[in-house]
Structure 1
Amino acid sequence: MWVNGPFGGGKTQTAYELVRRLPGSVVCDPEHPGFGLHRMLPPALRGDFQDLGAWRHGVREVLGLALRGHPGPVVAPMTPVHGGYFEEIVGRLREDGHTVHHFSLLAERGTVLRRLGERGLGRGLKRESFAVERLDDCLERLRAPEFAEHIRTDRLTVPQVADRIGEAAGLRLLPDTDGPLRHRVRRTWTGIRHIRFD
């Protein structure tokens, strides 16, 4: 399951909710090799790592390996909005015989900005300037048919989004037994574990 969406759209939270409620599933995060490639470059040469062919090829190769070798569902939270790049990864995985369910989590601009501000470690949207600069283009591109299935998340909780993905992918998720406090703690902990400092 590829969980797409704008930065701050809830991809990582949803991916880990799916894994929590799908025994035997695993998150394979395509951002990690991208950050590694960034670290190899001098800061002045660091752009969008998705523009690097090495990233696209590596993500497809590693996800293919995971899909062939792991017996359970594989969840990839990532934001490819360039149609050619999407085809190069997801399209090729499908051509290789893998079933890839793709979902774009969409929300109103204000909703995404609020979410980005909440994860800014007290610095608000300043820390998320990369995401804010790309937000409008990202939301526009993800509305295209090739990025369906679209899920509007403005009025959905993370467990509800996971439920919709599971249902659309034909997977039975364990029931969500978290109360409001545990849900908030779980979301906070997932957010803390995925803070980037570079």
Structure 2
Amino acid sequence: MLLWINGPFGGGKTQTAHEIHRRLPGSVVCDPEHAGFGLRRMLPPGLRGDFQELTSWRTGVVEVLDLALTKHDGVVIAPMTVTDPGCFAETVGRLRELGHPVHHFTLLAQRETVLKRLRERGLGHLPRYVAGKNAGLRRESWAVSRLDHCLERLSEPEFAEHLWTDHTTVPKTADRIAVLAGLTLRPNNEGALRTRVRQAWVGLRHIRFD
């Protein structure tokens, strides 16, 4: 089974994916963004655009996820923003055509909620105290520039199932996805402080600098 977790940049995809992985034995996170940034780094800086426009990324993601789904005895989790219907068909749609059970979820939130998460992504509240309120947004300028487009496109019916996350936590979002996908997660017995530390570490590991 594949859980594809979609949503705007800063919408909580990666945190939710790793929360499910933490509480679902045998699961694995296969992040399509890794392939995209690898392809991007191969190009001269002036040619580094949106890697989703590369045929090699779309076909490569399908090939790798097909292999993981075929050979790995457990749930595969892919956190990845995809807003273009054609790209969606060539990745999520193609995996379904290959016969894999694919559960697709789009995490949505109000614009201000996502901006707040972008401000705090990676280092938590630290940038606000060290470099000012909008330090995180300056670091995430590309994500901010794409936010309105993402929210508009991902609200369309073709990107269902939609889960609104403004007033819920990452563990509760993971619980909801598990119920909808027919999975059972281990109970979340982690304390609030440990959760914040772990999520900050996940965020730090996924900061991109190019």
Q: TM-score range by the shorter chain?
A: over 0.9
Match of 1:135, as an amino acid? L
Tell me, yes or no, if the aligned pair for 1:120 and 1:128 is still in contact at 8 Å: no
Partner in structure 1 of residue 201 of structure 2: 189
Tell me, yes or no, if the aligned pair for 2:21 and 2:27 is still in contact at 8 Å: yes
Task: Find the partner of 1:99 among 98, 101, 116.
Answer: 101
- Where structure 2 has 5 or more consecutive residues not aligned to the other structure, the ranges are 128-134
The number of residues matched between the two structures is: 198
Q: Matched residue of 1:47: which SS?
A: coil
Match of 1:21, as an amino acid? R
Q: TM-score, normalised by structure 1?
A: 0.98
Match of 1:158, as an amino acid? V
Match of 2:159, as an amino acid? F
Q: Deviations over 1:90-109 (max 9, x none)?
A: 11100100001000000000
Task: Find the partner of 1:129 among 134, 141, 144.
Answer: 141
For 1:5-84, list aligned pairs within 5 A.
5-84=7-86
Match of 2:83, as an amino acid? V
Tell me, yes or no, if the aligned pair for 1:16 and 1:27 is still in contact at 8 Å: yes
For residues 146 and 61 of structure 1, the distance between their equivalents in structure 2, rounded to whole angstroms, comes to: 23
**Greater than 3 Å deviation, 4+ residue runs:** none
Match of 2:98, as an amino acid? D
For residues 21 and 129 of structure 1, the distance between their equivalents in structure 2, rounded to whole angstroms, comes to: 32
For residues 154 and 54 of structure 1, the distance between their equivalents in structure 2, rounded to whole angstroms, comes to: 35
Match of 1:131, as an amino acid? A
Q: TM-score, normalised by structure 2?
A: 0.92
Alpha-carbon shift at residue 197 of structure 1 (Å): 2.2
The Cα RMSD (Å) is 0.9
Partner in structure 2 of residue 178 of structure 1: 190
